[in-house]
Amino acid sequence: MALLYTSEAMDRLAGRGRLRVAVVGVTGAVGRKLLEVLEERSFPVADLVPLASDRPGLRTVHWAGREIEVLAAEPSRFEGVDIAFFGAGGDVSRALVPEAARAGALVIDKSSAFRLDPRVPLVVPEVNPADMDEVPLSVIASPNCSTTQLVVAVAPLHARAGLRRLVADTYQSVSGAGLAGIEDLEQGTRAILAGREPPPPTTVTRPIAFNCVPQIGEFDEDGFTDEETKLIRETRRILHLPLLAITCTAVRVPVHHAHSEALTMEFEDPLSPDEARAILSASPGVVVLDDPSRGLFPTPIDAAGRDEVFVGRIRRDPASRNGLHLWCVSDNLRKGAATNAVQIAEHAARG
């Protein structure tokens, strides 16, 4: 396991030019979006190795004008690979990330398998790129989608005024549960509109069509779900605030793409809404849409298909002397998953 953390894969990438790139999980929602983003951003791929964790048979993916065979994800596939993106879930990552690292690849893992490992940097390039530069590593973790958009919006304000307390309520689209989540919503919607009983959902505990479900993941003994705990722990780690007072309620909503978040922040120093708007308007990866009098504020439709984090409804918290509220929205499959992973690879390749 030492190879997982001590190889010089990142150092080897600098100046390499075009790269051999593996994508694990190409048959899922995140894997498909990774292929799309790699092509859109003209990432320097010399040879693409699409991998699936199930038995792929003769399936192919269309990428960069070519049909490429999807191969079974197994250790031998990583020989000669420069960068391996993992988007197939924690079990697959735990089994195959060490194998990819042992073969010499830089691994960028979208699962939760290594996010809290203190030896593995957890990175959002707009927020903490220096965390991947301190030592040459083989594995870099990409955060949960809801965490990613949150820290992009909050970090610039924290740098100015010192974040002391954070309450995050998330309204997460069904694509956060993958292709099966989208199917749950579509099947349920069709059934209800036809006057039929919707089929039992596979990704939530209650019907999602025309409904909101305040459970994403399993509950712990304190009543928090896996999703809520991930956001709390990952936010503390990325912002380097291990004692941050933070809590979360995560809700699955009947939206195809893009997560929304209502954030309540308390700062050490005063920060006016106008100052916050100016700071965020100048921050990388952020778009401010904030004029409620004209109906201008972000919604999932605005963010779907985009890579930015959209922020609006910035206002004072009347219950806190140095408190602010804001609303932020981002495409969970793009910035929340695929785009963030590709941005990490771009940073690594630049050296």
> Can you give the pTM of this predicted structure?
0.93
CATH number at residue 106: 3.40.50.720
Q: Which of 99, 155, 162 is nearest to 124 (CA)?
A: 155
Residue 275 has pLDDT above 80, yes or no: yes
Confidence label for 4 from pLDDT (cuts 50, 70 and 90): low
Has residue 218 been placed in a domain? yes
| Rounded Cα gap, residues 309 and 148, in angstroms | 9
Q: How is residue 108 written in tokens?
A: 């960028």
Which phi and psi angles does 87 have, rounded to 5°?
-140, 35
Has residue 340 been placed in a domain? no
- 243 contacts: CB under 8 Å, gap ≥ 6: 236
Q: How is residue 45 written in tokens?
A: 């791929």
Around 72, how many Cα atoms within 13 Å sit in the side-chain half-sphere?
Answer: 6
- Is the domain of 116 the same as that of 168? no
Active site residues: 145, 259
Residues 132-182 have pLDDT tens digits of 887 567 999 999 999 999 999 999 999 999 999 999 999 999 999 999 999
* % pLDDT > 90, the chain: 88
What H or E segment, with its residue span, contains residue 235? Answer: helix 226-238
Domain that holds residue 313: 147-173+212-332
Confidence label for 55 from pLDDT (cuts 50, 70 and 90): low
202: left (phi over 0), alpha (psi -120 to 50) or beta: alpha
- Is the domain of 99 the same as that of 113? yes
- Is the domain of 273 the same as that of 166? yes
- Is the domain of 109 the same as that of 164? no
- Please provide the average confidence, as pLDDT, over all residues in the chain: 93
Residues 63-76 have pLDDT tens digits of 999 999 999 999 99
| Rounded Cα gap, residues 263 and 249, in angstroms | 11
